[in-house]
Structure 1
Amino acid sequence: MKSAATDLPVLLPFRAPTPLPSSGLAVPALISGATLAVLAVLFGASLAFAQAAAGPAVESVVAVLLRWAPLIFQGFLFNILISFLSMALGTVVGVLVGIAQVSLLWPMRKGAWALTQFFRNAPWLVLLFYAMFLLPFEFRVMGVTIAFPAWVKAIIGLSLPVAANVSEIVRGGIRSIPAGQWESAESLAFTRRQTMWMIILPQAFKRMIPPWMNLYAILTMATTLISVVGIQDSLTITRAALVAESRPELMIPMYLLLLVMFFAYCYPIARATLALERRFNVKA
């Protein structure tokens, strides 16, 4: 005769999933040939149009772009650095706030919810302005002056909406786990903290990855906002190049070059996000 304990739902400890065997199929390209062809046609058409508008007597558009492309690319790399640091800071804060949103303590739960909703629905540029002009430009610690550069304040300003969106991603991921998991863990004498870190979060993690990656792509494109507050990035350098050349016909090729850089970086992230959504499609 089976004991009554065997009638309880059994919850196995979390184990890392076994790697899937290779299917022998080639991994699809993150940027398809058709997409590359469309970009090449658009870029070539902009160059031809600009060269026709400039005339044969001036320096060719291609030569001008080749001269400025390395400097614009350096600014683009700075945008990527800002996106990395903002995403890292926002993720750390957002995970803590997201877990607080499912806390059993109602003051913590309501406070985390209020912070999430405020920063999630506030304009990113407004938050960036607040961070730039409300935070000091330097600190004095024990008589030592420590500079607080503008790019660090920009990271803080961008990390605020990122943290709010990550908080909502974490809350949604935790809530997506069936309630039976909590009940099974409780029947096995798991504490709430053990249940959260050992059972719920490992299962919710894979559901959080696709929206987290999508948020990073949005953040990367939003890093051009820092040019509005006087930080020199790829957009600032592009505008400076147009002013230095004083050739209106270069505007479309210059900005299209910058657009291609961001597209080449963000589009593979979008494709990878879709692939992960299909792979981690879990039906509750």
Structure 2
Amino acid sequence: MNDGAFRIDRHRFAVEHFSSRLHWRHGLWLALAFFGSFVLAHAQSDTQRIPSAIGTLFIWLPFILKGFGLNLLMSFIAMACATVLGVGLGLLQISHSRWVSLPAWFITHLFRNSPWLVILFMVMFLVPFEMQVPGLGIVRLPDWVKATFAFSLPVMANISEILRGAVNSIPKGQWESAESLAFTRAQTLRWIILPQCIRRAIPPWMNWYALLALATPMASVLGVREAVGNAQAAMEAAGARPEFLLPFYLFLLCLFFAYIYPIALWTRKLERKYVVAN
């Protein structure tokens, strides 16, 4: 049995535990806690003060969902950028040239092992808020665009490692067979190795997308008006009543769970379908 294949299959690119641990019971407990929080908020609030927690949440629901739409947009764009950059970085990692593979290895592990919040602060404060673009003049970069780029960096590094691991999990006999047919290394990668890597990489790729989507609320720390930021603004507009905190934040948890759980189910299904036979 190929040692690389065993290592990759067992480790599942370091993210198997996310999809395997998420269960529908977590959503049930969240929903019960969410509805229970309304009872608690009603007990804590002054009956003369209106609207209630549920009424306030209903009023501000479109505003919060608009922020959630920005979370999704950030996750889509960041994942697209991370995929393109990560595939390129992964190909550099498996290069036979040490001058190419070592810098790629360093960049991969630098961003893989850096806290996402640190990367977010670094990008938000180091990237200028305005840029001179030829033909367009001065273009202002919204904070959510910079946050999206920041989120793409750690995911890029992990996708790079996914690609490297997937390539290394292919049995060496396939490389040797391609070499005997006079294929170049580039042709072997393009026509034989990478097509097989796709199905092995899809489940961990989806796992990282789910983790990325869950990480986007961190942008609210720096003033990006996504779901969490809009929920905080809604509570402030409603009078900053402390009894609203639990219902609003539990609603956000339920919202993200409803989006992420189907992805986790799909990921587990693909893992079973594309399991690597050793």
With structure 2 as the length reference, what TM-score do the two structures score?
A: 0.87
1:259 aligns with 2:250: no
User: Quick one: distance in 1 between partners of 2:28 and 2:110?
Assistant: 42
Residue of structure 2 in register with 1:248 after alignment: 242
**C-alpha deviation, 1:36, in angstroms:** 5.5
3-state SS, counterpart of residue 261 of structure 1: helix
1:103 aligns with 2:82: no
Q: Which residue, 60, 73, 76 being the options, matches 2:65? A: 73
Answer whether contact 1:224 1:235 (CA < 8 A) is retained: yes
**C-alpha deviation, 1:50, in angstroms:** 1.0
Structure 2 unaligned spans of 5+: 1-21
User: Quick one: distance in 1 between partners of 2:134 and 2:202?
Assistant: 43
Residue of structure 2 in register with 1:42 after alignment: 33
Q: Which residue, 119, 122, 125 being the options, matches 2:114? A: 122
**C-alpha deviation, 1:198, in angstroms:** 0.8
What is the identity, as a one-letter code, of the residue corresponding to 1:236? Answer: G
**C-alpha deviation, 1:129, in angstroms:** 1.3
Higher fraction of helix: 2
3-state SS, counterpart of residue 138 of structure 2: strand
What is the identity, as a one-letter code, of the residue corresponding to 1:105? Answer: S
Q: 1:272 to 1:49 in 2, by over 3 A?
A: same
Alignment of 1:1-284 (within 5 A): 37-59=28-50, 60-142=52-134, 144-245=137-238, 246-284=240-278
Q: 1:151 to 1:282 in 2, by over 3 A?
A: same
> Cα deviation per residue 1:2-50 (whole Å; 9 max; x = unaligned)?
xxxxxxxxxxxxxxxxxxxxxxxxxxxx985x56544432222111111
Answer whether contact 2:27 2:254 (CA < 8 A) is retained: no
**C-alpha deviation, 1:241, in angstroms:** 1.8
User: Quick one: distance in 2 between partners of 1:36 and 1:159?
Assistant: 28
Deviant stretches of 4+, over 6 Å: none
**C-alpha deviation, 1:140, in angstroms:** 2.2
Point out the more displaced range, 138-147 or 72-81: 138-147
**C-alpha deviation, 1:247, in angstroms:** 1.4
**C-alpha deviation, 1:105, in angstroms:** 1.0
> Cα deviation per residue 1:144-200 (whole Å; 9 max; x = unaligned)?
222222222112111111110110011111111111110111111111111101110
User: Quick one: distance in 1 between partners of 2:212 and 2:234?
Assistant: 25
Answer whether contact 1:31 1:268 (CA < 8 A) is retained: no
> Cα deviation per residue 1:249-274 (whole Å; 9 max; x = unaligned)?
11100000111111101111111111
Return the index of the structure with the highest Cα Rg: 1
With structure 1 as the length reference, what TM-score do the two structures score?
A: 0.85
User: Quick one: distance in 1 between partners of 2:26 and 2:85?
Assistant: 37
Supply the RMSD in Å over aligned alpha carbons.
1.7
Give the total of aligned pairs. Answer: 254
3-state SS, counterpart of residue 132 of structure 2: strand
> Cα deviation per residue 1:204-259 (whole Å; 9 max; x = unaligned)?
11110111101011111110111112211111111112222221111100000111
**C-alpha deviation, 1:110, in angstroms:** 0.8
Q: 1:185 to 1:95 in 2, by over 3 A?
A: same
Answer whether contact 2:31 2:254 (CA < 8 A) is retained: no
What is the identity, as a one-letter code, of the residue corresponding to 1:106? Answer: R
**C-alpha deviation, 1:55, in angstroms:** 4.2
Structure 1 unaligned spans of 5+: 1-29
Answer whether contact 1:61 1:250 (CA < 8 A) is retained: yes
